Chain A
Amino acid sequence: MYSTTYHRVSSVDEAVKLLGDCDEAALLSGGQTLLPTMKARLAAPSDLIDLGRIDALKGISVDGRSVKIGAGTTHAEIHASKEIAAVCPGLHEMTGVLGDPAVRHMGTLGGSLANNDPAADYPAAILALDATIHTSKREIEAGQFLVGLFETALEDDEIITAVSFEAPERSGYEKFRNPASRYAMCGVFVAKSAETVRVGVTGAGGDGAFRWEAAEEALAQRFEASALEGLSLDPSEMLGDLHGSPEYRANLVRVMAKRALAKA
C-alpha cells in the first residue's frame, strides 16, 4: 500500500468538505474492496476519509413495505434484519451469499454501490427493486445511478447516504459464483410487484449490471420458469473472461433467472 493520510469524520458534511480539500481523496466505508486494491498498489489515494463512524449513515427502517437502508449498513446487518427477511426475502438471501462472513461484517451497502463492480451483487438488486439512491446532494434512480463498469452517476463530492425502495410482493436472488474469486459470474434478482416484474442481472453484462427486459415482459405475462424457455441473450453483449465466456454467461443468466424465480 502506498502512503496515505487517514481522516475519521463524524458527519456527511464533514466528509464532503474534506473531499473538496484533499488532493486525491477516497472514501473509506467497509474497505473490503478499496483496501485490497490499495494493497495491490492499484489505487493510491492521497487521503482516506473514513465514513465508518457516521451514525447517520447506519440503520434499517421498514415502514409497511417502504424500506430505507443507510449506506453505512453492513451486509451482515442487512442479512440479520428480520424485517428485511420478512418483506424482501431476495435481499435477505443475497446479503447472505455476498462475500464471506468476515467481509459481510465490514462491507457496506453504500461502499459496494459506489464501487459498482460488474461482479458485485447489489447492482442487480437495486435494478430489480427499482431502488432510489439517496446522496448528499440528491436522489437518483437505480437505472440512472449505474453508468458502466466501475462507473456511477456520483459526482466527485457526492456521497451515498441511503437506499430506499418499495418491497415487492415476491423477490428472489440466485447467483453462480466465479469458482476462484467467488464473485458473481452471474447473479439474477427477480422482483414482482402488483403490475410489473423486474429482473436485474449482475456479473454477466459487458457494460455492467442490466435489466433483462425480455424476461420481464415474459414473466409479467406468466410468473413461472417456463415463461423463460426460448428466451436468450446476445453473447456479444456479455462479459467474457478466463472463467466464463460470453456464451457461457448468456446461458447462466437464463438458468439463474429460472432459479431465482423458483425462490421468489
Chain B
Amino acid sequence: MGIEGIGARVARKEDKRFITGKGRYVDDMVVPGMKFAAFVRSPHAHAKINGIDTSAAEGMPGVIGILNGKQISEDGIGDLICGWMIHSKDGSPMNMGRWRPLAEDRVRYVGDAVAVVVADSKARARDAADAVVVDYEELPAVTGAVDALKDGAPQIHPEAENNLIFDWELGNGEETDEALKNAAHITEMKIVNNRLIPNAMETRAALGVYNAAEDHYTCWTTSQNPHVARLVMSAFYNVAPENKLRIIAPDVGGGFGSKIYIYPEEIVCLWASKRTGVPVKWVADRTEAFLADAHGRDHVTTVKLATDADHKVTGLKVDTVANLGAYMSLFSSATPTYLYASLLSGQYAFPAVHANVRTAYTNTAPVDAYRGAGRPEATYVVERIMETAARELGLSPAEFRRKNFVREFPHQTPVIMNYDTGDFDASLDAALKEADYEGFPARKAEAEKRGMKRGIGMSCYIEACGIAPSKAVGSLGAGVGLWESAEVRVNAVGTIEVLTGSHSHGQGHETTFAQLVSGRIGVPIDSISIVHGDTDKVQMGMGTYGSRSGAVGMSAIAKALDKVEAKAKKIAAHQLEADENDIVIEDGTLKVAGTDRSLAWNEVTLAAYTGHNLPDGMEPGLKEGAFYDPQNFTFPAGCYICEVEVDPETGRTEIIQFVAADDFGTIINPTIVEGQVHGGIAQGIGQAMLEGCLYDAESGQLVTASYQDYCMPRADDLPSFKVSTTETPCTSNPLGIKGCGEAGAIGSPPAFMNALTDAVGHNDLTMPATPQSVWAAINGTTPDAFA
C-alpha cells in the first residue's frame, strides 16, 4: 500500500499543467503551414441536394479549397458505420442506412455536413462557407421516434422501411405476461427519458496532417479511444492503412461518451489535408457541438410492474421506443439494447422481466452513448416505478425495495446479467442514516409552515461496467473486443513507464494508475509515468468509456506488473542465491523473506539491463505487456436520496440535500472517486431538473442550440453532495474494482424525480422538471414545453 498506493488520497500529478495553463488540447496544437476548415452544414432537417454552387466562395480572400461529398466518394472514403449488430426478434439484421462523411444527395438533420472550406484563417473559412450556395429541395421531416414509426411518416433512409431500425426483445415474455395476469397489483407508467446534449467543455476538434513524402497521415483529435479511431478509420473508412495513420488524443477536455465515436469531421480533415496539400485544423464552435455531437437518451417507455399479495414483485414488462437520430452512430445500437434492457432487474430478485425495444431513424442528430448509456434509462424506469408502486401500495419506499432486494450472490437475473457481489442493504442503510430519513416528516411540516413543499425520494441503482468478456460481447453483436492492454517498461535506473490503452480526459489516470504501480513496487509515483493517447507510442488499446479504465485498464496493468515482478524476482533470487518463491517486493526492495538479505529495486533493474549476472537463458531487459479480458461485467451499485423544497409560487426547486452511498468495490483514490461521483450527480440532476434538448416538431430545427436555451447546471443550481462508499470487492477482476465514472449520472435522476413528485403530490411530471413545468404541475395549467 504505502502513502501513495491503493487507497491513498494523492493529489493529482496531472494538475500542475492544467492549473498553470500548460495543458495541451487539440486546438493548442500548431504545425507549420496549418490552415483551417469550416463546414457548410444543412439548415434543413430533411432535404434533397440539387446542387452546390461554390463560385462566389472560391474567390474569397484566403480560400485554399472547397470540397464536397462527390469528391470524397470519388476518393473511396467509406461510409460511417455502427459497430454493434443487433438482430430484430424475427431474426433479421438491423436496417442500417448509409452515412456519408459529407452528404452527397440528401441531408437528414440540421447540421448535416455538406461541404468543407479550407482557408488561411478560421474567420475566412467561415466567411467562405457562408458564401457557398446549396440548392436544397426541402422534404417533410420527423423528429420524434414514436412519430417516425407511424404509417405515413417521412421516410428517412431507403434501407429502413417506416424508419424502423430494429424491433428487439430480451427476457421472458410468457412468464412476464403470466405474472401480470396473476398479479395482486399492477403499477403502470409512461416514462420519457429526455434527450440530452453532452457538452464536454472542450468542443470536438481535429488537426489532420498528410505527409506526401512518406504517404503518412497524423491526426490530433479529441478522442476517448484513439486506437479505435485508427482501427475504424483504417478498416472501414479507407482513410489510410493503420501503419500509415497515427492518431494522437492529447489532453482532452471531457468526453462523457460523446468523444468515443469517429465523426465525419476528423475523417474530412485528414482527407482534406491530402486533397489540399496543407495541414487542416477544425475546431467546433459551441453551436456546431450542439448540432453535430452525438446526443444522448431519448426514450419513450411504457412499463408495468406486477406485485403479489405479499408485495413481492413478480414481473416487469417494458416497451421502449428509442430515437437514434438521422444516422446510426458507432455504438448507437448497443445503448438502448444490451446496455439498457440487461439492467431492468435493478437491485431486485425479479423472477420475470421482458423488454421490447424498437429504434427509429428521425431527422435529428445521431444519438449514442452518453454518461451511463442505457443504464440511466433502465434505472430511471425501474426506480421510478418501484417508488410509484410503493406509494400506490401504501408502503415505505425503502421497505418495499428491501423486500425485493437480491441478497444471494452470484445472482442470475432474467436479463443476461450475473451479479457477482453486492450488499444493497448496506448502501440503503448508509444513505437512510446520512439523510436522516426518519426526521423527514418534521422537516416537511416545518417547510409547510413557510409555504414550501418538501419531498424526499430515493433510488437504489445497479449498473454494469467493464463490458466483457470479448467472446460474450462478440456473440451479442459487438464488432470489437472489449479487453484492455498495458505495457510496463522499467528503465535501468528503476523508474517506470506504463503504456496504457485507456485514455484520460479528466479521470486522473496519470495519478491512479501510478498509485497502483507505486503500491506494488514501492517506488514513488513521481518515478512512474503514464503514457497514453498516441497510437505511435502505445500498443493497441480500446480506450475509456463505460467506467472501464479502473476495472479493465488497471487490471491489464496489474497483469503486466505480475510479469515484471516475476522476472525481477528471478533476477533477485539469482543474485541473492535464494529461491524465487521466497522473494518479496516491499517498499522498493526485493527481500528474501525471513532474512536480512535484499536488493534495492534499482539494483535489480540495473542488473536486468547490464545483463552481466542474469539467470542462464534469461533475456536482458525488464518490460512486459499484457492484454486483459475480463470474465464478467462489474456491478457498481448504491443508494441515492434526494430531498427537495419547491416554491409553489414560482415552481423553483431547491435541492436541500443529496446523499450518495455507493459501492464501487476497491477504491484507488477516494478523492478522485468522490470527484467522479460529484460530477455524475451534477449531470444526473442536470438531466432531471435543467437540461432538455428540443427540436421543433414542424421544422426540425434544434431549438436548444446554445447555452441561451440549453440549461447547463451552474454552481448555484446545486448543493454540496454528501457522498460515502461501502465496499464489496468485485470478484471478477484482480483488483476488486467495479468502476465509478457513471454511477452519479445513473442513480440521481430517479432520486430527484421521486423527491420532486413527492413534494408536488402527484406523478405527472417529466424531465427536465423546469420551474415552469413544476409550477404548472402544481397549478394544473400550462403544458410543459419539453413534454
Contact = CB atoms under 8 A, between A and B. Distances in A.
A and B touching (C-beta < 8 Å)?
A: yes
Interface of A: 1-3, 40-41, 176, 179-182, 242-245, 247-248, 251-252, 255
Chain A CB count within 10 A is highest, among B707, B714, B772, B785, for B772
Interface residues of B, number: 30
A181 B708 contact: yes
Interface stretch (B481-489, B573-581, B774-782): B774-782
Contacts of A242: 694, 703-704, 709, 785-786
B661 interface: no
9 contacts: A1-B123, A176-B650, A180-B710, A243-B772, A243-B785, A248-B772, A248-B776, A251-B649, A251-B650
A1 B124 CA distance: 10
B184 interface: no
Nearest to B692: A242
B771 A179 contact: yes
Given A242-B703, A252-B650, A247 B781 contact: yes
A3 B60 CA distance: 13
A3 B704 CA distance: 28
B711 interface: yes
A251 B774 CA distance: 13
Contacts of A176: 650, 652, 771
Contact of A247 (B650, B652, B782): B782
A180 B708 contact: yes
A66 to B, nearest CB: 36
Chain B CB count within 10 A is highest, among A1, A242, A244, for A242
B586 interface: no
Interface in B454-503: none
Contacts of B703: 242
A181 B775 contact: no
A3 B128 CA distance: 12
A204 to B, nearest CB: 13
Nearest to B708: A181
Contacts of A243: 709, 770, 772, 785
B690 interface: yes
Nearest to B689: A179
A255 B650 contact: yes
Nearest to B285: A39
A248 B775 contact: yes
Nearest to B124: A3
B130 interface: yes
Contacts of A181: 707-709
Contacts of B710: 180
A247 B773 CA distance: 12
Interface in B697-724: 703-704, 707-712, 714, 717
A243 B786 CA distance: 9
Interface in B634-693: 649-652, 690
Contacts of B785: 242-243, 245
Interface in B734-786: 770-772, 775-776, 781-782, 785-786
Contacts of A182: 714
Nearest to B648: A255
Contact of B772 (A1, A40, A41, A245): A245
B278 to A, nearest CB: 23
Contact of A2 (B127, B649, B651, B652): B127
Given A41-B130, A245-B782, A179 B775 contact: no
Nearest to B779: A251
Contacts of B714: 182
Interface string B277-290: 00000000001000
Contacts of B712: 180
Contacts of A180: 690, 704, 707-712
Contacts of A1: 123
A251 B712 CA distance: 25
Contacts of A247: 781-782
A116 to B, nearest CB: 18
B772 A244 contact: yes
Contacts of B287: 40
Contacts of A252: 650
A256 B690 CA distance: 21
What are the nearest 4 A-B pairs in CB distance? A180-B711, A245-B782, A181-B708, A255-B649
A181 B776 CA distance: 21
Interface in B62-90: none
Contacts of B707: 180-181
Given A242-B694, A242-B709, A248 B782 contact: yes
Interface in B18-62: none
Contacts of A2: 127
B40 to A, nearest CB: 14
A196 to B, nearest CB: 27
A242 B781 CA distance: 15
B69 to A, nearest CB: 24
Chain A CB count within 10 A is highest, among B712, B717, B771, for B771
Nearest to A245: B782
A193 B461 CA distance: 58
Contacts of B772: 243-245, 248
B770 A179 contact: yes
B61 to A, nearest CB: 9
A242 B782 CA distance: 12
A182 B709 CA distance: 10
B361 to A, nearest CB: 25
Given A176-B771, A248-B651, 20 more contacts: A40-B287, A41-B130, A179-B711, A180-B690, A180-B704, A180-B709, A181-B709, A182-B714, A242-B694, A242-B703, A242-B704, A243-B709, A243-B770, A245-B772, A245-B785, A247-B781, A248-B772, A248-B782, A251-B775, A252-B650
A100 to B, nearest CB: 9
B284 to A, nearest CB: 14
A37 B712 CA distance: 20
A41 B717 CA distance: 31
A179 B690 CA distance: 7
B702 to A, nearest CB: 12
B123 to A, nearest CB: 7
Nearest to B703: A242
A215 to B, nearest CB: 16
Contacts of A40: 287
A104 to B, nearest CB: 16
A244 B783 CA distance: 10
A252 B786 CA distance: 20
Nearest to A40: B287
Nearest to A1: B123
Nearest to A247: B782
B566 to A, nearest CB: 57
A112 to B, nearest CB: 17
Nearest to B61: A3
A182 to B, nearest CB: 8
A1 B122 CA distance: 10
A3 B126 CA distance: 11
A225 to B, nearest CB: 11
Contacts of A251: 649-650, 775
A251 B648 CA distance: 11
A244 B651 CA distance: 11
Nearest to B784: A245
A176 B714 CA distance: 15
A202 B717 CA distance: 23
Contacts of B126: 41
Contacts of B651: 248
A263 to B, nearest CB: 16
